[in-house]
Amino acid sequence: MHVTSSIVPPTIRWGGIIALIQSGIGLAYAFFLIYREFTGQDDPSIVYESTEANTWVGFGTAVFFIIIFGTVFAGALSMMSGRRWGRGPIIMLNIIFFPVAYYMFSEGRYLWAAIVALSAAGCLAMLFNARSVHWMANQY
C-alpha cells in the first residue's frame, strides 16, 4: 500500500470521523440483528413467504451491513492515515444516504432523516472541499 504525505488535511480527518461514526452505527445495528436472531426474536413488520426465510432475513441483512459498513470503516481509517484508498467507498455510501433520508422523511421520521442527510452532506462537503481534493490529487 502506498503511503504518501503525512500531513492529512483537517477536512479529510473530519470526513473520516463522520464516516467512522456512520459505520459504527451501521455495524452496531448489524450485531444487534445477529443478537436478535440468536435469541429468537422476530420483527413483526417483515412478512415472510416461508418459515425458513424468517431466520435468514436478519442474518442476511447483518452480513450485508457488515460488508458495506466494514468497508467504509476500513476506508476511513486508511484515508485518515494518509493512504490514498478509502475516499471512494465513503463518497458512495454518503450519496446513497440521501435517498435513505428522503425515505425516512416520507415515512414521518423527520429527526432521523435530518440526521442522516446532514451527516451525509457534512461528510461529502469535507471530502469535496478544495483542500481535500488538492490533497487527494497529489496522492496520484
The reported pLDDT for the residue numbered 3 is: 47
Residue 81, domain member (yes or no): yes
Q: How far apart are CA 123 and CA 119, in angstroms?
A: 6
Give the count of domains, the chain. Answer: 1
The reported pLDDT for the residue numbered 46 is: 67
Residue 1, domain member (yes or no): no
CB 73 within 8 Å of CB 27: yes
Residue 2, domain member (yes or no): no
pTM: 0.86
Q: How far apart are CA 27 and CA 22, in angstroms?
A: 9
The reported pLDDT for the residue numbered 45 is: 65
Q: How far apart are CA 43 and CA 122, in angstroms?
A: 32
The rounded average pLDDT for each run of 10 residues, N- to C-terminus, in the chain (140 residues) is 67 96 96 89 69 74 95 96 91 97 96 97 96 87
Print the domain residue range for 107: 10-139
Q: How far apart are CA 137 and CA 92, in angstroms?
A: 18
Residue 26, domain member (yes or no): yes
